[in-house]
Amino acid sequence: MPTHPIMFEEDDPALARVRTLALAFPGAEERISHGRPWFHAGQAFAVYGGGTKGPDSVRHDHGLLVHVDDDERPARMADPRFFVPAYVGPKGWLGIDVGTPECDWTEVAELIDASFRWVAPARLVQELDGRI
């Protein structure tokens, strides 16, 4: 089985913030897959880094990929900060670049929270809600 090259820098400050947010969820784990950090709670709920597919593909090394609820997807798609990532985009995922000074980390935390709630087992969501 071929291995993928690592496509992130361990000392990336945006990745550090994403890790802090993602790994705070109950049962959350980080795994490296396809050369990128993936955050799981049973299933993947966030990925750091990605890109778009097609002839005009763009690599987003500081992109955060999350699942977006169907009712929020049209508004997010209208926002130029968001992109449809390769492979997982058709499954309801979107990406946003978190490596800019303008990044709204409160919004990022909310996106990660919603994505976690979409995939996490009910017991982990209940544990999260018990913390609040």
Q: Give Dmax (Cα) for the chain.
A: 47
Model-level pTM? 0.95
Residue 66, strand partner residues? 46, 94
Closest to 110 measured CA to CA, from 64, 77, 43: 64
CA distance 99 to 61: 8
Query: Could you list the pLDDT tens digit for every one of the 132 residues in the chain?
Result: 568 999 999 999 999 999 999 999 999 999 999 999 999 999 999 999 999 998 999 999 999 999 999 999 999 999 999 999 999 999 999 999 999 999 999 999 999 999 999 999 999 999 999 986
CA distances from 80 to 38, 75, 84 (A): 24, 10, 11
